[in-house]
Amino acid sequence: MRNALFAAALLLTTTTAIAQPDTAAMRDEALRSDSLAWQLVEDLTTEVGPRLAGTEAEARARTWAAERLRGLGFSNVRIETFDMPVWVRGEERAEILAPFPQPLVLTALGNSGATPARGIEAEVVGYDSMEAFRAAPAAEVRGKIVFVSHNMQANQDGSGYGPFGAARRDGPTLASQRGAVGILVRSIGTDYHRNPHTGVQSFGEGARPIPAAALSIPDAEQMQRVLTRASARNTPVRIRLVLTPRQIGTRQSGNVIAEVPGSDPSAGTILIGGHLDSWDMGTGAIDNAAGVAITTAAAHRIMRAGQPRRTIRVVLFGAEEVGLFGGNEHFRRHREANDVVLVSESDFGADRVWRVAFNLAPGNQDLQRRVTAALAPLGIPVNRAPAGAGADLGGWARSGVAAIDLNQDGTRYFDYHHTPDDTLDKIDPAQLRQNVAAWTAMLSVVANAPERIEPVTPAQR
Ligand SMILES: [Zn+2]
Q: Cα–Cα distance between 144 and 148 in angstroms, integer?
A: 13
Helix axes 36-43, 429-448, angle to 10 degrees: 120
Partners of 240 in the β-ladder:
95, 121
Residue 458: what pLDDT? Answer: 75
Partners of 341 in the β-ladder:
none
User: Tens digits of per-residue pLDDT, 166-178?
Assistant: 999 999 999 999 9
For the chain, the structural domain boundaries read 21-83+250-448, 91-247
- Who's near 131: CB < 8 A, 6+ residues apart? none
User: Tens digits of per-residue pLDDT, 328-343?
Assistant: 999 999 999 999 999 9
Residue 208: what pLDDT? Answer: 97
Residue 17: what pLDDT? Answer: 61
CA–centroid distance, residue 301 to ligand 1 (Å): 24
The amino acid at 414: F
Under CATH, which number does the domain 21-83+250-448 receive?
A: 3.40.630.10
CA–centroid distance, residue 255 to ligand 1 (Å): 15
Q: Which residues are near ligand 1, the ion (C-beta closer than 5 Å)?
A: 287-288, 347
Q: Is the Cβ–Cβ distance between 352 and 409 less than 8 Å?
A: yes
Residue 170: what pLDDT? Answer: 98
> b or e along 386-397 (b: 16 or more beta carbons within 10 Å of the residue's beta carbon)?
bbbbbbbbbbbb
Q: Is the Cβ–Cβ distance between 261 and 311 less than 8 Å?
A: yes
Architecture of the domain delimited by 91-247: 3-Layer(bba) Sandwich (3.50)
CA–centroid distance, residue 227 to ligand 1 (Å): 34
CA–centroid distance, residue 90 to ligand 1 (Å): 22
Supply φ then ψ for residue 238, to 5 degrees: -115, 140
Q: Give per-10-residue mean pLDDT for the chain (461 aa).
A: 46 59 97 98 98 98 98 98 98 98 98 98 98 97 98 96 97 98 98 98 95 98 98 98 98 98 98 98 98 99 98 98 98 97 98 98 98 98 95 96 98 98 98 99 98 86 48
CA–centroid distance, residue 384 to ligand 1 (Å): 24
3-class DSSP assignment, residue 194: coil
CA–centroid distance, residue 348 to ligand 1 (Å): 7
Residue 132: what pLDDT? Answer: 98
